[in-house]
Amino acid sequence: MLGLLEVHGLRPSRALGQNFVVDPNTVRRIARLAGVGPGDLVVEVGAGLGSLTLALAETGALVTAIEVDRHLLPLLCEVAEPAGVRVVGGNALTLDWADLLGPDEAGWHLVANLPYNVATPLVCDLLDGVPAISDLLVMVQREVGDRLAAGHGSAAYGAVSVKVRYWGTARVVGRVPASVFVPRPNVESSLVRIVRHPAGPAVDPALVGAERLFQVVRAGFAHRRKMLRGTLAGVVEPAAFAACDVPETARAEELDVDAWGRLAAFAP
């Protein structure tokens, strides 16, 4: 794979946060952890040199590979299209996902080695706006992975953790050492698997809309060391704490998604 970069006169882009996985055992492991097989619909974000793309295609899955770097696209097409992969040039943050995946399609699996600077907003955008994606396996910076998968009561738990748990379940399924990347990053990476709740959001939208819920969540975590009676002043009614069985002396990291939903839905 690295030889192809030289042949095409290319090098990894620091601006795009490119760190390519070059270890064949690692990409096969990721494909295995994704749990995909013959006929499954898979979309890969940040396909890069195509090493993970080929490992996914080898499972028999129907793979759509997205790459934002127009300089890499000819190389990716050369590597992946003979394996039956559909290659798409575009920025995952601005793509028309309904057009790409099909408005009536469901059950897509997303697999991605995400640049560290876009990992959190992209995961949140996909959970919020692309219901056709039923599960995600993302490789992210270790600290980001811990936040995505954190449960209430842990130091890593924050607003993005609540977002993930609103839409699905998440867990860290593996660690990836820096040594399998070129160029080698200064951090370790985690593999996080997120599975969307089949019955819909954890908090019934009929009780409280997502916009209102996350307005309250963001306010609560804005000063995470402070008690909620202070951080949520003017955001929820003072009577909400007792009515919702949430101590006003609690801090944001102590509340699970259900408790956040009760606070946000409270109407005096």
* pLDDT of 248 higher than 70: yes
The runs of H, that is alpha helices, within 130-171 are 142-149, 159-167
pLDDT-based confidence at 268, cuts 50/70/90? low
Q: What is the pLDDT of residue 19?
A: 74
Q: What is the pLDDT of residue 40?
A: 96
Of the candidates 61, 15, 57, the residue with the CA atom closest to the CA atom of residue 40: 61
Of the candidates 135, 50, 66, 56, the residue with the CA atom closest to the CA atom of residue 99: 66
Secondary structure tally for the chain: helices H, strands E: 12, 9
Q: Supply the DSSP symbol for 75.
A: H
Average pLDDT over residues 206-235: 95
Mean pLDDT of the chain: 91
Q: What is the pLDDT of residue 7?
A: 56
* pLDDT of 267 higher than 80: no
Domains of the chain (ranges, CATH numbers)? 2-196 (3.40.50.150), 210-265 (1.10.8.100)
pTM listed for this prediction:
0.91
Answer for the pair 30, 111: CB distance below 8 angstroms, yes or no. Answer: yes
Q: What is the pLDDT of residue 104?
A: 66
Q: What is the pLDDT of residue 22?
A: 78
Q: Name the more confident of 123 and 70.
A: 123
Hey, what are 104's tokens? 């009536």
pLDDT tens-digit map of 136-194: 999 999 999 999 999 999 999 999 999 999 999 999 999 999 888 876 777 889 999 99
